[in-house]
Chains A and B, each alone.
Chain A
Amino acid sequence: MATANPTMFQASDLNQHNERVQRRYRLLFGLMTLLLITPVMLILGTLVVKGGAAISWEFLLTAPTDGMRTGGLFPALLGTIWLVTVALILSVPIGIFAAIYLSEYAGDNWFTRTINLAIINLAGVPSIVHALFGLGAFVLFFKFGTSILAASLTLAVMTMPVVIVATRESLQAVPQAFREACWNMGATRWQTIRRVVLPNSITGILTGVILEVSRTAGETAPIMFTGAVFFTPFLPQSVFDQTMALSLHLFVAATQVPEIAEHVPFGIALVLIGLVLTMNSVSIAFRMWLRGKKKW
Chain B
Amino acid sequence: MSTSTQALRNRATDARAAEDFDRRDPDWYVDKLLAGIVFVCGISAILFVLGIFFFVTKEGIGFVFEKMDFREFFLTPYWSPSDAEDPEYGILALMAGTASVTGLAMLVAVPFSLGAAIFIAEFASGKTREVLKVLVELLAAIPSVVWGFIGLVIMNPLLIKWFDIPVGLCVLNAGIILGLMAAPIMTSIAEDALKAVPDRYREAAEAMGATRWQVIYKVVLPAAKNGLLGGVLLGVGRGFGETMAVLMATGHAVNIPDSIFDSVRALTATIAAELGEAVVGGEHYQVLFTIGIFLFLVTFIINLSADLIVRGIRKG
- Chain A residues within 8 Å of B, Cβ to Cβ: 18-19, 21-22, 25-26, 28-30, 32-33, 35-37, 39-40, 43, 46-47, 93-95, 97-98, 100-102, 104-106, 113-122, 124-133, 135-137, 140-141, 157, 160-161, 164, 188-191, 193, 214-215, 217-221, 224-225, 247-248, 250-251, 254-255, 265-266, 269, 272-273, 276-277, 280-281, 284
Contacts and interface: CB of A to CB of B under 8 A. Distances in A.
Given A32-B112, A115-B43, 16 more contacts: A21-B213, A32-B119, A47-B146, A97-B41, A124-B302, A125-B299, A129-B292, A132-B288, A132-B292, A190-B34, A218-B144, A224-B276, A254-B153, A254-B248, A272-B145, A276-B142
Given A128-B241, A220-B144, A269 B149 contact: yes
Interface SS, A side: helix
A116 B243 CA distance: 25
A19 B119 contact: no
19 contacts: A26-B123, A26-B213, A32-B119, A36-B112, A40-B180, A101-B43, A124-B302, A125-B52, A125-B299, A126-B268, A126-B296, A132-B56, A132-B59, A190-B31, A190-B35, A251-B145, A254-B148, A265-B149, A272-B145
Given A276-B142, A284-B134, A220 B244 contact: yes
Contacts, number: 271
Contacts of A25: 213, 216
A128 B243 contact: yes
Given A98-B41, A128-B295, A157 B148 contact: no
B173 interface: no
Contact of B241 (A116, A125, A188): A125
A19 B212 CA distance: 9
Contacts of A22: 211-214
A125 B45 CA distance: 12
A265 B27 CA distance: 56
B143 A273 contact: yes
Nearest to A117: B307
